[in-house]
Amino acid sequence: MSSSDRRQFLLLMAALPVAGCGFAPAYGTGEAAYGLQGRVRVDDPSDKNAFDLVQRLEERLSRPEAPRYALSYSITTNAIGVGITPENAITRYNLTGAVDWGLTDTTTGTRLTGGRVNNFTSYSATGSTVAGLAAEQDAALRLMRILADQIVSRLIATSGQWAQE
């Protein structure tokens, strides 16, 4: 058996269990999550964290062309000092964040789904003031991207229960 024949055989064998389980891509044509692309209008951002969250949501769901759904959100963040020197100086922070969100059908005004996602990132506070501020801003951006990805995952996972064409 040649090398390429062996690879094709192994790929075929690896694909068999997936083919038998009813696996279908979430964004496949006709699937519920497919209808989310370009149809979710996220509330306008009011601050930097909200801007970063909305940017990532629109990156994942596309900017709305014909919005059918409205996504509202409320963000809370908190920086907690976790690395403390013997001189009582904080050298590391955990930035925790939570987003309460809800999805509404714009034609009926009915709330379809929602929930709360939360996570954290960390950043170092050692070095210059400028470096500390840059690290804090980067951590906030990473946190908003993580939270937006969690919201999109929940939308995709539950879309079969509420999404309509």
> Are the C-beta atoms of residues 120 and 97 closer than 8 Å to each other?
yes
Point out which residues pair with 75 in neighbouring strands.
99
Kindly state whether residue 52 falls inside one of the protein's structural domains.
Answer: yes
For range 42-69, the mean pLDDT: 94
pLDDT of 18 reads: 57
| DSSP 3-state of 71 | strand
Kindly state whether residue 15 falls inside one of the protein's structural domains.
Answer: no
**pLDDT at 37 exceeding the cut of 80:** yes
Domain count within the chain: 1
Kindly state whether residue 142 falls inside one of the protein's structural domains.
Answer: yes
Dihedral sign (CA 22, 103, 122, 56): positive
pLDDT digits (tens, 9 = 90+) for 56-96: 999 999 998 889 999 999 999 999 999 888 888 888 999 99
Kindly state whether residue 8 falls inside one of the protein's structural domains.
Answer: no
Domain extent at residue 98: 25-162
pLDDT digits (tens, 9 = 90+) for 92-146: 999 999 999 999 999 999 999 999 999 999 999 888 889 889 999 999 999 999 9
Q: Which amino acid is at 38?
A: G
* Residue 77 to residue 99: CA distance in whole angstroms: 9
* Residue 57 to residue 20: CA distance in whole angstroms: 33
- The CATH number for 90's domain is 3.30.160.150
Kindly state whether residue 46 falls inside one of the protein's structural domains.
Answer: yes
User: How much is the pTM?
Assistant: 0.81
